[in-house]
Amino acid sequence: MRATLVLFTLTSLTYGLTYYADDSCWNFLDFDLALEEAIKIAGLTYARLASTTDNNDDKDFDNVFSIIFNGYEYKDKNKYAEAKADVRRPFRLIMNMKEASNLKQSDIRFFCDNDRVYDPTDPKSRKGRRWEKLSSTLYVDEKNMMSNPVLPQCNLPGIDGTTYVRHWQTRLPGHNKDDENDDRVTITICDQTFQKPPPKIPPDQTYYFPQAITNDFPSRDWTGYRIDNFHHLITGVIIHELMHAVTKGGIKDAPPDLTTGWEKIEKMPRETANKNAESYAVLARFAMLAQWGWTLPRLRTQPKDTEAEKQCHLKQVEEGIRVGLLAKNGNLFRRQLARTRELRRRDKTLSNRVRAFLGEDKFEPYLKTAKVA
Ligand SMILES: [Zn+2]
């Protein structure tokens, strides 16, 4: 009994998921860096979610969490803390991932081969691909000793990446031989994720936004940009797929009409958001931006502002949050805090989202008007 206990303690201390990137990912120079960034950003997100300090960055991030995962709905502080801990968990699994020394032993395997399929009935089809089509309902991946009942997803238009976890795949006979890791998950990052954007990008063309994080990103002026401008970062796609992978499919994709873009993520009900990979990926994007000093707009009124000016500013903030507009994060001064508090007292029509962004006590504003949990 004692020995079992000791063993359990040892394994839980050293436990961590391992990953391995297939040779096909060497074709994409951006991949390694993006994966490294993804693990780092998962760590940042975890730290922000776990933070109990009271600096403005953390308050802002807390509010972003509440918008995405409907934190406003929790009446009870402990329930709210539990909800944050639940969202933290998969980020922790990602940040603790370690590189495995070979494919067979790894838990999570990355492929960048666009899920190309060899079809023996097609004379033009090339051999030597990871997938082989045996029938229209059977695609075999011998490298990972598994099969898939539908066409591997990168072959469909508009797919950034795809994850195959155990309950979405079938194992081939003898799939456990050669020390094959029984719990393996494969991720394919599709070619469209690596496509370079055109040299000149109008700010409103979110789809073509740069797809690798470059050194100048942290110091760039993102005024006028929206969170959706970061939708196609390779790092973001990796985080999205890893959410499926580390939870073995526990985190899924909400129906497509719910998931595209900030405005849908923001309106998503809590239960859906908790199980939706893109909601986590969007939160991670905000953690990355927070590190560079950017967040959602926050109300800042001046003592000399007239009532009309304050109301106008309020509307702008509300609209900015609705569309996911980025704003430079700054410290609030004591006097500004007093003014916003006063404004809030007088104006009963402030929405929860704006209340949360008033910049003071982070729980009070939405507890008072909380919806039924
Ligand atoms: Zn997904």
pLDDT, one tens digit per residue, over 173-196 is 766 666 788 889 999 999 989 887
Confidence of residue 141 (pLDDT cuts 50, 70, 90): very high
| pLDDT value at 52 more than 90 | no
Q: What is the 32 CA–ligand 1 centroid distance (Å)?
A: 20
pLDDT for the residue 51: 85
Alpha carbon distance 155, 89 (integer Å): 32
If one compares 130 and 29, the residue with the highest pLDDT of the two is 130
Rounded Cα distance between 352 and 112, Å, is: 43
State the distance from the centre of ligand 1 to the C-alpha of 262, rounded, in angstroms.
16
Q: What is the DSSP string of 16-78?
A: --EEEE-GGGGG-HHHHHHHHHHHHHHHHHHHHHH-----HHHHHHHHHHHHHHTGGG--SHH
Give the separation between CA 218 and CA 290, rounded to whole angstroms.
10
Going from the Cα of 66 to the center of ligand 1, the distance in angstroms, rounded, reads 22
Whether 36 is covered by a domain: the verdict is yes
In a domain, 257, yes or no: yes
72-76, 89-93, 226-230, 281-285: which has the minimum mean pLDDT?
A: 72-76
**Residue-number span of the structural domain to which 129 is assigned:** 17-294
Does residue 7 sit within a domain?
Answer: no
Let me know if residue 180 belongs to a domain.
Answer: yes
Number of compact structural domains in the chain: 1
215 CA distance to ligand 1 centroid (A)?
28
Collapsing DSSP to helix, strand or coil, 189 comes out as strand
Decide if pLDDT at 366 tops 50.
no
Asked whether residue 370 is domain-assigned, the answer is: no
Q: Is residue 345 part of a domain?
A: no
Residue 252, in any domain of the structure = yes
Residue type, 8: F
In the reported structure, the alpha carbon of residue 79 is separated from the centroid of ligand 1 by a whole-number distance in angstroms of 27
* CATH number reported for the structural domain that contains residue 88 in this entry: 3.40.390.10
Distance 242 CA to ligand 1 centre (A): 9
Q: What is the pLDDT of residues 199-258, one digit of tens each?
A: 666 655 655 566 888 888 888 888 888 998 888 899 999 999 999 999 999 999 988 666
Q: How many whole angstroms from 284 Cα to the centroid of ligand 1? A: 15
Dist. CA 253 → ligand 1 center (Å): 5
Q: Residue 165: inside a domain, yes or no?
A: yes
pLDDT reported for residue 372? 27
CA of 325 to the centre of ligand 1 (A): 24
